[in-house]
Amino acid sequence: MRCALPDGGTLLLAEPMAGTRGAEPIGEAYFGFYLLAMGRGRPRTAAALKSMLQCAGFARARLLPSALPLQTGVIVAHAS
């Protein structure tokens, strides 16, 4: 993704995220079914995703507020 964006370009990452505050018990069950349906993958926290984005050349990654944070978390980051 980083190679496809010009410097300063914006990435919007929307996906379920592990470790949603206040929903940990239901989040574990949700991710179990979600990943079973997808056939692979693993749950990642917003912090883990932000770290991956930084390693890939994105800066200023931040988690945006979401009305349904368990179903979809949204991170915005900028290509640096």
Domain enclosing residue 19, as ranges:
2-79
Single pTM value for the model: 0.80
- In this predicted model, which residue has the larger pLDDT, 67 or 63? 63
Tell me what the pLDDT averaged over the chain comes to. Answer: 86
* SS3 (DSSP) at 43: coil
Domain count, the chain: 1
Please report which helix (H) or strand (E) contains residue 50, including its range: helix 46-55
Q: What is the pLDDT of residue 18?
A: 81
Residues 3-55: pLDDT tens digits? Answer: 999 999 999 998 878 877 776 677 777 777 878 888 887 788 899 999 999 99
Radius of gyration of the chain (CA): 13
